[in-house]
Amino acid sequence: MTGYISKKAAAQAKLITEKKHMKIVEIKDYAYPCMMAEKAVKNVYELMLKNDSDKAIEQCNIAMQEIINIINAIKK
Rounded Cα distance between 9 and 23, Å, is 24
Rounded Cα distance between 36 and 54, Å, is 19
Domain assignments of the chain as residue spans, ordered by start: 26-75
What does each of the 76 residues of the chain score in pLDDT, given as a tens digit? 566 667 776 676 665 555 555 565 566 688 999 999 999 999 999 999 999 999 999 999 999 999 999 999 999 8
Q: pLDDT at position 76, please?
A: 82
The pTM score is 0.62
| b/e map 41-72, b = 16+ CB within 10 Å | bebbeebeeeeeeeebeebbebbeebbebbee
